[in-house]
Amino acid sequence: MVYEFEPVTRPDPVDLEEDEEEIGSSTAEGASMIRLLFLNVTVASATTDLENADTEIVDKIDPYCEVTAGGITQKTEILQNDLNPVWDSKMHFFVAEYTDKITFQVMNDDKKDDAPLGKTELDLTSLKDMDGTFHGELNLDGASNGKLNVHVECRKLKPVETEKKLERLQIQFAKKCEEQGETVAALDESEGLRKLALEMLSLKEEELGTKAQELSEQQELYQQDVTEKLLKYQDQTQEMESTVQQLEESKLLVSEMEQKKNEVETKLRDAEEEMARSKEALTTKEKEMEDIIQQKMEEAETAHLQVEKRIEELEAIRAELEQDI
């Protein structure tokens, strides 16, 4: 971004000689016939709730007071959100002697259009005649209960006093011209410094733009590197997860084999115990069978002996029968 230098508008030059001639001629020609009034006006306050004329703010207004005398208007400060404003604003007027009134207009400051809240006038006829003072309240027309508290001092200035006032004004005018020259010189110096500052700012902004571009490129490279490392890390993570899964499956398989081995060993032990029991029972059966066979053989032998004995008895009977026959 390139900053464009815009010079500050200088105040219009003051033609001191012309204004001095005008003031001097006015003083010389009119000193004998111009009589001025000096009005010292203090706008103290407005009371008894000014009517709300603000359409944007429901319950408050932003009042100020315009004071007009002899075609000259001065204003108080604007008070924000105040239905009973206290200004205590002091004003000074130099007006022609024939000025016969002071007008006070209370207004509401508004962004679109200032609205009147109340108006009143103070008659200067009696005050002019006696260099008098008024201090009190004035009813505001347009505000049902509005009042304006003011203090006005009125004093006539004689021609000599008028001339002295004009001389003081001429001196003040000359000082204003001198201040204006100093202001222009200060503006020239300020513009030089501002122009230099803008040039330095433009150079700095170009340097910052270059550095920002370099940083952007570095950031892009860094982002690519980070992305590659992240992808590599993800691949390694997947491999590790696969390896871990295989290890878990192996552990599970080993655990199942251990369980089956334990089951087989248990069955073998049970079978061996069963065989031992069966062998013991078979040994017992064999011994019982031997005892039974031995008993049966003994019984058979006894029976054989009994049969042989019976046969002998039968043979004897037979022999006896044969002898008898």
CB count, 10 Å around CB of 109?
A: 14
Give the pLDDT score at 21: 47
pLDDT at residue 7 greater than cutoff 50: yes
Beta bridge partners, 155, equal 38
Q: What is the pLDDT averaged over residues 41-66?
A: 75
Give the pLDDT score at 140: 92
For residues 114 and 139, the answer to whether their CB atoms sit within 8 Å is: no
120 burial via Cβ count (<10 Å: 0-12, 13-18, 19+) = buried
CB count, 10 Å around CB of 76?
A: 21
43/96 Cα distance (integer angstroms): 21
**Terminal Cα distance for the chain, rounded:** 171
Residue 157: closest CA among 144, 146, 167: 167
pLDDT at residue 57 greater than cutoff 50: no
Q: In which region does residue 300 sit, left (phi positive, over 0), alpha (psi from -120 to 50) or beta (all else)?
A: alpha
DSSP3 helix / strand / coil % (the chain, rounded to 5)? 60, 20, 20
101/69 Cα distance (integer angstroms): 7
Please tell me whether residue 291 adopts helix, strand or coil conformation. Answer: helix
pLDDT band at 198; cut points 50, 70, 90: confident
pLDDT over 90, % of the chain: 26
pLDDT at residue 26 greater than cutoff 60: no
Q: What is the pLDDT averaged over residues 69-98?
A: 94
Give the pLDDT score at 32: 45
pLDDT band at 147; cut points 50, 70, 90: very high
Q: How confident is the prediction for the chain on average, in pLDDT?
A: 83
Torsion angle of C-alpha atoms 94, 97, 100, 103, degrees rounded to 10: -10
44/285 Cα distance (integer angstroms): 141
Q: What is the pLDDT averaged over residues 158-183?
A: 76
Quick one: how many helices (H) and strands (E) in the chain? Answer: 3, 8
pLDDT band at 29; cut points 50, 70, 90: very low
118 burial via Cβ count (<10 Å: 0-12, 13-18, 19+) = buried
Residue 108: closest CA among 151, 46, 152: 46
Supply φ then ψ for residue 247, to 5 degrees. Answer: -60, -40
In the chain the beta strands, taken as DSSP E runs, fall at: 36-47, 63-69, 72-75, 86-96, 101-108, 115-123, 133-139, 147-157
